[in-house]
Chain A
Amino acid sequence: AAGVIQSPRHLIKEKRETATLKCYPIPRHDTVYWYQQGPGQDPQFLISFYEKMQSDKGSIPDRFSAQQFSDYHSELNMSSLELGDSALYFCASSPGPNSYEQYFGPGTRLTVT
Chain B
Amino acid sequence: RKEVEQDPGPFNVPEGATVAFNCTYSNSASQSFFWYRQDCRKEPKLLMSVYSSGNEDGRFTAQLNRASQYISLLIRDSKLSDSATYLCVVTYSSASKIIFGSGTRLSIRP
Question: Do the beta carbons of A98 and B95 come within 8 Å of each other?
Answer: yes
On whether the beta carbons of A90 and B96 are closer than 8 Å, the reply is: no
Q: Chain B contact residues (Cβ within 8 angstroms of A): what range? A: 20 to 34
The docked-state distance in angstroms from the alpha carbon of A2 to that of B47 is 17
B20 interface residue, CB < 8 Å from A? Answer: no
Interface residues of B in 30-50 (CB under 8 A from A): 31-32, 34, 41-46, 49
B98 touches A45 (CB 8 A): yes
Q: Is the CB of A97 within 8 A of B87?
A: no
- CA–CA, A48 and B41, complex, Å: 23
Which residue of A is nearest B91, CB measured?
A: A100
Q: Does A21 contact B (CB under 8 A)?
A: no
The smallest beta-carbon distance between B28 and chain A, in angstroms, is 17
Count of A interface residues, CB-CB < 8 Å: 26
In the assembly, what is the distance between CA of A31 and CA of B34, in Å?
Answer: 18
Q: How far is the CA of A94 from the CA of B89 in the complex (A)?
A: 15
Seen from chain A, the residues whose Cβ lies within 8 Å of a Cβ on chain B are 31, 33, 41-45, 48, 55-56, 58, 88, 90, 94, 97-107, 109
- 4 additional contacts, CB 8 Å, given A48-B95, A105-B43? A41-B102, A42-B87, A56-B96, A101-B49
26 residue pairs from A and B, CB less than 8 Å apart: A33-B96, A33-B98, A41-B102, A42-B100, A42-B102, A44-B100, A45-B97, A48-B95, A55-B94, A56-B95, A56-B96, A56-B97, A58-B97, A88-B41, A90-B44, A97-B95, A98-B95, A99-B95, A100-B31, A100-B49, A101-B46, A102-B98, A103-B46, A104-B43, A104-B44, A107-B42
